[in-house]
Amino acid sequence: MCFLCFGSYFCYDTPGALADNFKGDSHLNTSQFALLYSIYSWPNVILCFIGGYLIDRYFGVRLGTIIYMTIVFIGAVVFAFGVYINQFWLMILGRFIFGIGGESLQVAVNNYVVLWFNGKELNMVFGLQLSFSRFGSTVNFWVMEPIYKWVATYYAGYEKLGVTLFIASLTCLGSLICGLILGWMDHRAEKMLNRQEAQAKDEPFRLIDIFNFKPVYWLVCVICVAYYLAIFPFIALGKMFFERKFDFMPQDANTVNSMVYLLSAALSPFFGILIDKTGRNVTWVILSIVTTIGSHFLLAFTFINPYVGVMSLGISYSLLASGLWPLIAMIVPENQLGTAYGISQAVQNMGLATVLILAGIIVDKYGYLMLEMFFLGCLFISLIAGVVIYIVDSANNGILNLSPSVREAYLNKSANRAEETANLLDHVDSSDQEEVDSRLTNQHSSQNAGIESSGDFPRDPAQAHSDRIRSRYISQLLPSTIPDRS
């Protein structure tokens, strides 16, 4: 499961690791280079949501994962071929295809995580899965420059860049193989655990259910958009930023740029365990946003060693991801998770698709300082959304920000109360019903007399049945003799 997204994340950042080579070999300016990232996000404005809906309604998580991983692999190969023949339109097409599968694949993996590990270890597994994904990006920044230099001994010009990307696309093939193995494992587990019979009892998801999503869910989506706008575009253009502001060599710039992903890969599982033990997801999310703001302040307005700001950024980023994504599983019913994760990925990609183009224009016209100011503005928006979530959740028993033990006790208490109510309604016999009906008639005789004298129509059968059920429950709670309140 962890290696499902390794190839996708590895190939996503190949342009970032070879930014100078794209400009030198393929003669791309900053705006064209940023478009390679932006075009990845455009299809996911819609298809991420559709991909999640298809998993919930038609494909299922196994088939959906294999389909989306196959699309990712095809997109990586087409992109590499476009670079190999130096056709910019084919590069864009390859990244577009790659994007169609990439984010929908992440939705499928999120479903897998909840399906297999829903419970006390959910945050840890989310962190571990994110760790392996980010490790793919980290390895990309480490190895692409050496691979490019090795290929340069056999090829020249843009062809050496294309061959380098063909080699990179093999990681997607490896992830596809992992998807096939995982599908077999899940199919075997479904038979052993009779999971299909349990799932058949759930009501099928309908598109109209989207309108019933809680406001807290949409606030989580705001954070998904605003926070990640200050992470992914920064990393995409980070290599050139470190070269220009801090006079780093290309390989050194790649190394410091990869620290965000490296720290995320190393720390996400531990942060997941921390949040599993302590709970307080909303508090951790707010803390990580504040720390990220401080990191960007250091990078924008000081000349302190950039490793300080980047390491702080990596720590806060991994903390946010470990605390934020499990929140959706706490808010949305399980049969709607694919669509919920798809929507959150879709709105995130809508922001990235727009901002990545805008980021390239800002750098070309105004420089990196203005770009950092833009990132800080996005982070303040995410901070406001986090604080509002905290306030709204506190007004509704604070279930999202409880410790695990208190949350479990609260949920068990609610479940027991619902079960007791159901048992009371199921075990009332006919004599009880006659007694309750008589008591209810005597208690409300004056009201009924008033209704009859007014000439109103009698109560419809459905309402009368509902009243009888309610009265059964009341009869188990009230004493047999109703005191005289006169």
For 473-483, what is each residue's pLDDT tens digit?
Answer: 444 444 444 44
How many whole angstroms separate alpha carbon 134 and alpha carbon 367?
Answer: 28
Residue ranges per domain, the chain?
1-201, 216-414
Higher pLDDT, 466 or 383: 383
**Average pLDDT in the 350-374 region?**
85
Same fold yes or no, 1-201 and 216-414: yes
pLDDT for res 28: 82
Banded pLDDT at 416 (limits 50, 70, 90):
low
Angle at 319 between CA 62 and CA 182, to 5 degrees: 15
Residue 481 φ/ψ, nearest 5 degrees: -110, 125
What is the dihedral angle through the alpha carbons of 291, 294, 296, 298, rounded to the nearest 10 degrees?
A: -140
Task: Check whether 32 has a pLDDT greater than 80.
Answer: yes
pLDDT tens column, 180-224: 999 999 888 888 877 664 554 455 555 566 777 888 999 999 999
Banded pLDDT at 141 (limits 50, 70, 90):
confident
Banded pLDDT at 261 (limits 50, 70, 90):
confident
Task: Check whether 47 has a pLDDT greater than 80.
Answer: no
pLDDT for res 411: 60
Of 308, 101, 138, 162, nearest to 235 (Cα)? 138
398 by Cβ neighbours in 10 Å (0-12 / 13-18 / 19+) ranks as middle
The percent of residues in the chain predicted with pLDDT above 70, rounded, is: 79
**Average pLDDT in the 374-395 region?**
93
The CATH superfamily label for domain 1-201 reads MFS general substrate transporter like domains (1.20.1250.20)
pLDDT tens column, 396-406: 777 788 777 77
Higher pLDDT, 156 or 46: 156
Residues 6+ apart with CB under 8 A from 403: 278, 279, 280
**Average pLDDT in the 421-428 region?**
50
The encoded tokens of residue 481 equal: 């003799």
Higher pLDDT, 351 or 429: 351
The encoded tokens of residue 346 equal: 């879709």
pLDDT for res 478: 45
Task: Check whether 115 has a pLDDT greater than 60.
Answer: yes
**Topology at the third CATH level for domain 216-414:** Growth Hormone; Chain: A; (1.20.1250)
